[in-house]
A and B are shown apart, each in its own frame.
Chain A
């Protein structure tokens, strides 16, 4: 089998498991709805104040949902005793990483679509104008978050207090990605053209390349368990 076919097998397995169990997606989506409530309660209903911090809130919502969702992806393999099967996959183990990464990207894309929709409905913001640029920023940022998240998720699945260690490891590493996406979302929502945030986009691309390459090269070390 080619590399991509093997990666696709892993992704398809994850999608199938999720479609039948509906464990992660349902919980994560519900969690992001709850986050919206929490934001509203803690920050008050003051429109102007909320609008000013909206890009931060949007990404905070996505990030917190990602922390829950990405952490699950390898814990599931352990709980279902499937780790050995992953180890037994023939050929280069980085195909497993790519497959898992693709599955996590799907999950995050779904969460982001829901979060963005809920924000526009409940917080009364108009994102339509900024949407094309926003989708690009979202895609680049999500790839960075998922690339590190998938890598570290495979690691913390084996560690004591994994729910604690996963965010502790992931959040500081993701600071550059987080700054880039929040800052560019801010600019785009203020109606500025995409060219204004080009330096952030370059940073995101650089981060994505570094994280994905690091993931591809080191993943088999983590899969050993």
Chain B
């Protein structure tokens, strides 16, 4: 099952690369640098979806105490942190030639960085707790509080930077981009989503095997 998922994910990522480098047009002002967006933007979507999965799986775990829910939360958190890391790294690489700086304390950069640190903390709790069952419970609490905190972080950082009421949920997305660019974004998003699902499935199996080996 996960082999098929891996195969489909590989095809999805390849299709994404073809779209990003072959089909999407060269951006007028930024040039080829802009093509990094096809990884940069879908990566953050995938990461936030993964954190949503952490939130849901954590509640499920505290409710049912089913080990599967905990493995899902653990795997999703790791994948989310990796993809958010990819998002931050590609953003810095894009920012240097475009803005002239690797990093700036702009609203969206800051809120992504804060969310990144919260979920690194989530992984730290697991690592630093000796008893895995206790670690699972503690991590679930951090996962729930951390996920609930995301909207608060988003608004507070936005106000901190602009001092004004933000336009509600107005985000530049594929709808704002035209034709081939929007299509390339969508294909890359699906590719990375499949890839993250594959990673989570693999990690889940690994965590289960680990549990069976130690139990």
Query: A residues within 8 Å of B by Cβ?
Result: 148, 151-152, 155, 158-161, 165, 168-169, 172-173, 175-176, 179-180, 183, 199-200, 203, 206-207, 210-211, 214, 218, 221-222, 224-225
List 29 A–B pairs whose Cβ atoms lie within 8 Å, in order of A's numbering. A151-B141, A152-B142, A158-B129, A158-B138, A159-B125, A159-B129, A161-B128, A172-B114, A172-B118, A173-B118, A175-B114, A175-B153, A175-B156, A176-B156, A179-B159, A180-B156, A183-B160, A206-B152, A207-B152, A210-B148, A210-B149, A211-B145, A214-B144, A214-B148, A218-B62, A218-B144, A222-B137, A222-B138, A225-B134
A179: chain B residues within 8 A (beta carbon): 156-157, 159-160
B130: nearest chain-A partner, CB-CB:
A160
A202: nearest chain-B partner, CB-CB:
B155
A217 vs chain B, min Cβ distance (A): 8
Residues B156 and A222 in contact, CB atoms below 8 Å apart:
no
Main secondary structure of the interface of B (DSSP, over half): helix
Main secondary structure of the interface of A (DSSP, over half): helix
Complex Cα gap A150–B134 (Å): 18
- We find that the number of chain B residues with CB closer than 8 angstroms to chain A is 29
Complex Cα gap A206–B34 (Å): 38
Query: B residues within 8 Å of A by Cβ?
Result: 62, 114, 117-118, 121, 124-125, 128-130, 134, 137-138, 140-142, 144-146, 148-149, 152-153, 155-157, 159-160, 165
Residues B124 and A165 in contact, CB atoms below 8 Å apart:
yes
Residues A176 and B128 in contact, CB atoms below 8 Å apart:
no
Residues B128 and A165 in contact, CB atoms below 8 Å apart:
yes
Residues A176 and B140 in contact, CB atoms below 8 Å apart:
no
A159: chain B residues within 8 A (beta carbon): 125, 128-129, 138
B137: chain A residues within 8 A (beta carbon): 221-222, 224
A220 vs chain B, min Cβ distance (A): 10
- Select which of B141, B155, B165 is within 8 A of A218 by beta carbon: B141
Known pairs A206-B152, A210-B152 / 19 extra A-B pairs, C-beta < 8 Å: A148-B145, A159-B125, A160-B128, A160-B129, A165-B124, A168-B121, A169-B121, A169-B142, A172-B117, A173-B121, A173-B146, A175-B153, A175-B157, A176-B149, A176-B152, A179-B156, A183-B160, A221-B137, A221-B141
B159: nearest chain-A partner, CB-CB:
A199
Residues A172 and B121 in contact, CB atoms below 8 Å apart:
yes
- Select which of B117, B138, B155, B165 is within 8 A of A155 by beta carbon: B138
